[in-house]
Amino acid sequence: MSKFLEISNSVILVQTSNHTSPHLETEMEIIERLLEQNNTVYWIQCEGDFQACYYNPLHKKMHCKVCYSRVSKGAKVVKKHNVNAKNLHLLKYKEFADVEEFKSKKPFEGLHFSSVKELKQYHYKEYDLGLATVSSLVSYTRDHEPDLERYHNFVERGLITGAYLYDVFTTILSRIKPDLVVFFNGRFIENRPLLRACQQMNIDYATHEKGGKLNTFLFRYKSIPHSIETISAEMEELWANGAEDKYEKGTSFFTNKIKGVEDAWHSFTKEQQEGRLPASFKELNGKKVITIFNSSLDEYEGLEGFGPYFYPDDNEGIKRICEDLTAHPDVKLYLRVHPNLRNQDNTQIRFLNSEIAKIPSVEIIAAEDKVDTYALIRASDIIVVFGSTVGVEAAFANKNVVLLGKAAYENLSCFVVPENHEDLIRILTDKDYVFPVIPPEEPIKYGHWNETFGLDHHYYKALGFNKGIYRGKAVKGNFLLRKIKRLFKF
């Protein structure tokens, strides 16, 4: 992450694709500091060119106007305070290609996808356009298998947006020839094409996101924020170079999670009742307690390299585990549904209710249930996870953990990874199976990473998760446009 401080005398392209706080302010700060480091910066801004995006998935006209007015205000702030403002150049997409002209060619007319899987596999030229469209659609619907017929309009606009931007970025990169390209996140239809264009043209890039704390931001050089390989290396580097209080910092991450402290993002457990366990705990009669903590599938759908190691998805894996454990009456099996699925009616929840709930071996604890996640961890003999942070939290509590899917902590020595389903059932049911001893510092490395990754903001001060001030003032869009947007909702 220190690479950011070393960038100088370079030509840099920055894309704005999410104007909400703190992301716009993060871009403003990145641009300001790059200008201070004697770089030339090209800042490309959308004027409604995106036909669908994370902020405005329905492409509402007034949302576009408010967004652009706020970005324009941000540009004025940057220019006002920076002595090298002459080296900042604002770009518009229409300078390189007109989106309406692109749409008029109807590039995807007659194209039909029968499944999400088929859409994922669709490529436009050398760009994985289908996967990026799915990623954005899943985030919009909160459903890992959305109904493509119902959302056909979104899919069409997503395909147009991604293809148009891929062509535009190919042109821009060829003309400007930047040394570095900076953009938000990298997995959505509005920024994935820039990522792919950079990779295919061998141009260095960096992504930004929130940091581990409210007043930090992530700057990932040649990587996206979700890269497990990058996170693992970063985790070890921060630990190796950590201060004397690194154990204390790492431990505080876990203790704060248990307390429901919201110092980086929303707590999923703060509404749970401390110490509460399922009523059935009173009737266990010495049974082995195994608890599965599932993941919210929409959180990683559309990301490459995520998901279970040897199951098609979490749901199918859970179903097989529950079916096979039916033959083991000495086991009490719980499924704790991820609290982030609270009040959702999506494909994942419907599968749990229709397929998993009817299997007699398992008791489902709903996402809305006030059972205490941490009390449940302490009371369980084995914790099974598909990548949820609960896995490393359980390891910190010195519990036996089985990891079944890709996770940011998967390179730490604090869990068991089965070779296949049969091996998993053996691990869960064999009375003679001995879990390896967890080195105490392994899970603490993860906590330390969470507490320390990211760069400190110099000009932005967070006043909440999505609210803050830049150089002492809030960056707001045009007042009249904001009022019209609120009143008429278009």
Instruction: Tell me what pLDDT residue 485 has.
Output: 82
* Per-residue model confidence as pLDDT tens digits over 316-325: 999 999 999 9
The first and second tokens of residue 445, run together, are: 């490395």
Residue 194 · residue 180 · CB < 8 Å: no
Longest alpha-carbon distance in the chain: 75
For residue 20, give the H/E element and its range: none
What is the rounded average pLDDT of the residues 227-252? 94
CA angle, 333 then 337 then 341, to 5° = 170
Instruction: Tell me what pLDDT residue 458 has.
Output: 96
Instruction: Tell me what pLDDT residue 446 has.
Output: 97
Instruction: Tell me what pLDDT residue 486 has.
Output: 82
* Per-residue model confidence as pLDDT tens digits over 131-186: 999 999 999 999 999 999 999 999 999 999 999 999 999 999 999 999 999 999 99
What is the rounded average pLDDT of the residues 39-59? 95
Q: Is the pTM of this model over 0.75?
A: yes
Burial class from Cβ neighbours inside 10 Å (0-12, 13-18, 19+) for residue 483 reads exposed
Residue 295 · residue 388 · CB < 8 Å: yes
* Per-residue model confidence as pLDDT tens digits over 417-459: 999 999 999 999 999 999 999 999 999 999 999 999 999 999 9
251 Cβ neighbours under 8 A, 6+ residues apart: 444, 447
**CA-to-CA distance for 134 and 151, rounded, in angstroms?**
11
Please name each of the domains of the chain with its CATH number.
3-228+454-488 (3.40.50), 277-443 (3.40.50.2000)
* Per-residue model confidence as pLDDT tens digits over 68-95: 999 999 999 999 998 899 999 999 999 9
Residue 217 · residue 209 · CB < 8 Å: yes
How high is the mean pLDDT of the chain?
Answer: 93
* Per-residue model confidence as pLDDT tens digits over 382-419: 999 999 999 999 999 999 999 999 999 999 999 999 99
pLDDT at 276 over 60: yes
